[in-house]
């Protein structure tokens, strides 16, 4: 009976009550930060004495915030393109290849997701210091692609595993070259996986803090580095304004994802 929603009885009330509490806990910081960004108190008093848009004005008046956001977007876009391209090739090999040590290689490629980021951060920081790649866009993109690769491989490999290869073979029988068959039959069929991979690898870079803190230079800062710096000095409401825009972006991304998934699936 415990897995029948309609027959739980009193337990259902208790469990739903608890669920509602946890949902509130999960929503609390997100909603709070958005409300705070419109509050007029510089000292973050809540509920705020009045409402204002001045923190947003301050945010947009400061070119360093805009520049950091653009830097982040540029690095995340390059990371997503690289991670999806490399991940796509790797996924075909991991799913279809029949060589020894395949599972070990899969494990190796997914390790950056498991290793604490701080270990990778100082390792790549030390390495790039010697190569002269510290504080460069290319250094950022390489480091973030390493971190994003697992997030590209997992959804693509999963989609590829669910794809019936005999359809691709049928295309080849009908005269398509293996490459044509892959490009025109297989890739469109696993587009949801590729799309998820692009979103996840973009986010993996866009939200990445730890490597970015080490890698950043005074002239090259991503948005998380800029927020990190501000957080360490004071809790100005301008951070709340920037954060609220990030929340809006997350919401937009969720909606686009949901819509696209629905569209791609039909």
Partner 1 sequence: MSVEVQQGIATPRIPAGLGGLLPALILIGLFFVVPVLALLLRSVTDPALGLQNYAALLGDGTYARVFFNTFLVAAVVTIVTVLVAFPIAWMLAIMPQALASILFGIIILSMWTNLLTRTYAWMVLLQRTGVINRGLMAAGIIDQPLPLINNLTGVSIGMVYIMLPFMILPLVGTLRAIDPMTLRAAALCGASPLAAFRRILLPLSLPGIAAGGLMVFVMSLGYFVTPALLGGTSNMMLAEMVAQMIQSLLNWGLGSAAAFILLVVTMALYALQLRLVGSKRAAGGA
Residues in region 37-96 near partner 1 by CB under 8 A: 43-46, 85-87, 89-90, 92-94, 96
174 binds partner 1 (CB under 8 A): no
192 binds partner 1 (CB under 8 A): no
Pick one of 142, 156, 160, 220: the residue that binds partner 1 (CB under 8 A): 142
**151: closest CA among 101, 114, 189?**
114
Pick one of 59, 143, 197, 220: the residue that binds partner 1 (CB under 8 A): 143
- Report the 10 Å Cβ neighbour count for 132: 9
Contacting range for partner 1; rule: CB under 8 A; set: 53-61, 63-71, 120-128, 185-193 = 120-128
Task: Return the number of the residue (252 or 264) whose C-beta is nearest partner 1.
Answer: 252
**191: closest CA among 168, 153, 159?**
159
Pick one of 69, 121, 216, 238: the residue that binds partner 1 (CB under 8 A): 121
Q: Which two tokens stand for residue 220?
A: 């090259």
Pick one of 73, 81, 117, 260: the residue that binds partner 1 (CB under 8 A): 117
Nearest approach in angstroms of CB 85 to partner 1 is: 8
DSSP state letter for 51 = B
185 binds partner 1 (CB under 8 A): no
- How far is residue 43 from each of residues 10, 114, 159, 171, 235, measured CA to CA in Å? 45, 39, 49, 66, 8
106 binds partner 1 (CB under 8 A): yes
Distance CA 83, CA 152 (A): 6
Pick one of 42, 60, 107, 259: the residue that binds partner 1 (CB under 8 A): 107
98 binds partner 1 (CB under 8 A): yes
Distance CA 223, CA 74 (A): 11
How many chain residues interact with partner 1 (CB under 8 A)? 94
Nearest approach in angstroms of CB 207 to partner 1 is: 5
Q: Which two tokens stand for residue 24?
A: 């509130």
Helix axes 117-131, 137-161, angle to 10 degrees: 130
Pick out residues in 194-223 that bind partner 1 (CB under 8 A): 203, 207, 209-210, 213-214
144 binds partner 1 (CB under 8 A): no
**What sign results for the dihedral spanned by CA atoms 42, 47, 53, 56?**
positive
Task: Return the number of the residue (94 or 194) whose C-beta is nearest partner 1.
Answer: 94
**What sign results for the dihedral spanned by CA atoms 203, 205, 210, 213?**
negative
């Amino acid at each position: 009976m415990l897995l029948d929603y309609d027959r739980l009885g009193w337990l259902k009330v208790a469990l739903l009550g608890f669920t509602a509490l946890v949902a509130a806990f999960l929503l609390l910081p997100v909603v709070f930060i958005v409300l705070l960004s419109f509050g007029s108190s510089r000292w973050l008093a809540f509920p705020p004495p009045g409402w204002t848009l001045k923190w947003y004005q301050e945010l947009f008046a400061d070119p360093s915030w805009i520049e950091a956001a653009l830097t982040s977007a540029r690095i995340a876009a390059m990371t997503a393109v690289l991670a999806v391209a490399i991940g796509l090739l790797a996924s075909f090999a991991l799913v279809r290849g029949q060589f020894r040590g395949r599972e070990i290689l899969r494990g190796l490629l997914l390790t950056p997701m498991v290793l604490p980021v701080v270990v990778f951060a100082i390792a790549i920081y030390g390495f790039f210091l010697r190569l002269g790649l510290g504080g460069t866009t290319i250094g950022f993109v390489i480091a973030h692609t390493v971190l994003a690769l697992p997030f590209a491989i997992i959804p693509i490999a999963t989609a590829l595993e669910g794809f019936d290869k005999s359809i691709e073979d049928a295309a080849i029988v009908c005269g398509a070259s293996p490459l044509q068959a892959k490009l025109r039959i297989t890739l469109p069929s696993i587009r949801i996986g590729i799309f998820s991979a692009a979103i996840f690898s973009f986010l993996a870079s866009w939200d990445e803090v730890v490597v970015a803190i080490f890698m950043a230079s005074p002239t090259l800062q991503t948005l998380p580095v800029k927020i990190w710096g501000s957080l360490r000095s004071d809790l100005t409401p301008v951070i709340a304004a920037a954060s609220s825009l990030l929340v809006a972006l997350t919401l937009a991304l969720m909606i686009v994802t949901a819509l696209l998934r629905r569209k791609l699936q039909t």
